Amino acid sequence: MAAMQNNSGPGRPPIALVFNADNIPQQLKAQRRWAPWKAVWNAEKSKWEKVPYQTNGYGLSSAKPEKWYSFDTAVAAFKAHPDLYAGVGFVLTGLTDFLGIDLDKCVTDGVIAPWAQEVINSVGSYTEFSPSGNGLRILANGSTPEDLANIAVGIEMYSGHTARFLTITGDAINNVPVATADPAVVGDLYRQYYVARKAQDNVISLIVPELIHELALPDVADMDVPQHIRNFLADGTNESGDGSGMLHATGVALYAAGYSDAEVLSIMANSDAAFDIALNHRRQDGDRALYYLWVEHCQKAKPKATTKAQILDDFEDLSETIEVVEAKKVAAVHEERFALKTAEEFAKRQKSSWIVKGLVPNANLGVIYGASGSGKSFFVLDLMAAVSRAVTAQQLAQALADGHDVRHSTWRGLKVSGAKVCWIAAEGQEDMRKRVQAYALANNVPLADLPMQFIDVAPNFLETADVKAVIKQMRLKGHFDIVVVDTLAQVMAGGNENSGEDMGKVLSYCREITRLTGAMVILIHHSGKDESRGARGWSGLRAACDFEFEIIRADEDRVATVTKMKGGADGAEYGFRLQTVVVGKDEDGDDETTCVVSYTDSTRASVAVTQGPKGDNNNLVLETATTLLTLSSGPLTINELITAAISKMDRGNPDARDTRSQTARRSLKTLVEQGFLAQTAQGHVTLPDGKNV
């Protein structure tokens, strides 16, 4: 039920605050078509209804002329009972040679939207503010084939064909009498908005665009919209006090600035002030609030912006509106995604795309991790420098087409396709400078011929502004294929590596970097305290990446191992050492040194044996086996080893299932695979060849 509100005093509704009888056209005053009206709050629609009443307080029918009053009688009743009535209005029913045109939500802070001003100018007749102050009403001599209430666009045209009551305020914006509107202009307006209404009825609830990530949205300060719209989006400033009106004005302004459906919706959804208003209108339901923004303040606002240039210049009868065309395009794209394929079409394999064949795919996200001092940054620099120097696939194809004998570039025998690399040196910037110099010296490459780009300040990948700034700087330098982040920990200041929320945000920004620049992101990361459990922190990182390398070290030997490769084989190993290189002298004349990568044949097994196994249980089983082999001159069976190892393990919760046997057997299997122990064909456990007890 709608609740009645007082019309004056402390409870007076924030509408009909202005009434000026002197401005109301005499042509209207002379007719017996008047009545006072009450403001009735409609809670369901969140708006004030303007309901005509008799002077005795009973309801009035706009379809019964014998109940209507003269202008003076209606005004007298209004002034005598300001606590009951909010104003006076004109009954248009049956007056088919008179025209009322309502322009809804087109006034913000007293400023008339350009599209509405153009409609006013084209009709050229008396115009006044509506009771809310946010809309306008044009009164003119003229007619339409039928009354038109285009709620989607916010334009209504009334010419007496149906029962209609128009509130009249006398709050005129021009000193113009009621004029006869050009029939051609009225006809074109009618056809334009009638077609728009029909088309919008078909698409208004069908497709809500996917929201654009905030990183891809323009900065509010850079938007070509009125200042009060920028203020509202930025900090919620809304001097009008009308939340829905400001949302609507924002939608119109954004469309007028040339933004797409998805951009307009995303900009408003990303504004705390705008989305808070939407939530309040939809009982704090996020999904309904988003749909409210889309329907009420995107789709219904768009025609007011897109048609403004047509109002005066070209009232062309559109057979299909922009909204329908765009909706069909979007629908077609969505439909094509789910096109059916035959077994033959489905079974056709797409060729793999590699930057370094078999090692670095052309993907979205890679992770390379290792303990501190493992040499992970040196390894990645050596690899990326080779990639940046390599001949690109396009260059190779062009050279071959020109008849030149050009071969693929390689890295450790693997075919390399050149790519443009951006390196974010988020830690140890001075050390990184020396490493780049050392690579150039060791490989006899002038620094000017090393086509890598570097960022030597640590951005915070938990801050939108920082990530946007990185993207902008990358775009200024052109296209990139790879961006290396060295290291992950240094670009999430204040964040928690174990938090799915923080890591999820960092990874979402990495995905946006890829989407907006085309560059794959490679994160250099640390291993955890228990190196057997992989990279440090949130376990979802491994699931999110397309490939992963682990780098381990024992003394001077190091090995990089492919531990994950989507769509490819893992397990490949690349041994290396670090060789010291002098890159210059310090201020005291002493050598400044750093290292470069020197390739070796070391394997994970050889380095792991030197290093020792990872994990407490693995170490316990190895120590047990070593002790038993030392004390016994006979063979050591698997069961003997497992039984002895179990006796040293903590049983844990006595009410839970005993899993010590399975744990010990898994550790034995790992130790054998990694070369710490060996197993004979007879099932005996021994130390590997060459190892003494």
pLDDT tens readout for residues 73-113: 999 999 998 888 889 999 888 888 899 999 988 888 788 88
- Most confident option among 246-260, 317-331, 426-440, 614-628: 426-440
pLDDT tens readout for residues 543-578: 889 999 999 988 888 999 999 998 788 889 999 999
263-267, 343-347, 406-410, 649-653: least confidently modelled range: 406-410
What pLDDT score was predicted for residue 346?
74
pLDDT above 70: residue 400: no
Q: Which domains occur in the chain, in start order? A: 3-203 (3.90.920), 214-336 (no CATH), 354-555 (3.40.50.300), 613-686 (1.10.10)
What pLDDT score was predicted for residue 197?
41
What pLDDT score was predicted for residue 206?
53
Rounded CA gap, 6 and 13, in Å? 7
Q: Which residue has the tokens 């014998």?
A: 66
**pLDDT tier, 300 (very low <50, low <70, confident <90, very high otherwise):** confident
**pLDDT tier, 204 (very low <50, low <70, confident <90, very high otherwise):** very low
Give the residue with greater pLDDT, 136 vs 689: 136
Burial (CB count <10 Å: 0-12, 13-18, 19+), residue 279:
middle
C-alpha pair distances (Å), 134 with each of 22, 162, 498, 533, 601:
22, 25, 51, 63, 78
14-23, 143-152, 323-332, 658-667: least confidently modelled range: 323-332
Give the residue with greater pLDDT, 397 vs 551: 551
564 CB-near residues (< 8 Å, 6+ apart)? 542, 545, 547, 548, 570
What pLDDT score was predicted for residue 675?
79
pLDDT tens readout for residues 229-275: 989 998 888 877 788 888 998 998 898 888 888 899 999 998 888 98
411-420, 437-446, 627-636: least confidently modelled range: 627-636
For residue 10, what is the DSSP state? Answer: G
Measured over the CA atoms of residue 274, residue 279, residue 281 and residue 285, the dihedral's sign is positive
What pLDDT score was predicted for residue 180?
93
Q: Tell whether omega for the bond before 392 is within 30 degrees of 0, i.e. cis.
A: no
pLDDT above 60: residue 482: yes
**pLDDT tier, 491 (very low <50, low <70, confident <90, very high otherwise):** very high
Q: At what angle do helices 261-270 and 286-294 cross, to 10 degrees?
A: 140
What pLDDT score was predicted for residue 673?
82
What pLDDT score was predicted for residue 16?
63
Rounded CA gap, 561 and 552, in Å? 8
For residue 527, what is the DSSP state? Answer: B
Percent of the chain whose predicted confidence (pLDDT) is above 70: 84
Q: In what order do the strands lie in the sheet with 482-486?
A: 452-455, 421-425, 482-486, 520-526, 365-370, 547-554, 557-565, 573-585, 591-600
pLDDT above 90: residue 658: no
Task: Calculate mean pLDDT across residues 10-21.
Answer: 67
Q: Two tokens at 461?
A: 């990948």
Task: Calculate mean pLDDT across residues 390-417.
Answer: 74
What pLDDT score was predicted for residue 628?
85
Give the residue with greater pLDDT, 13 vs 481: 481
> Cα-Cα-Cα-Cα dihedral of 452, 455, 458, 462, to 10°?
-80
pLDDT above 70: residue 348: no
What pLDDT score was predicted for residue 104?
87
466: left (phi over 0), alpha (psi -120 to 50) or beta: alpha
**pLDDT tier, 510 (very low <50, low <70, confident <90, very high otherwise):** very high
**Mean pLDDT over the full length of the chain:** 82
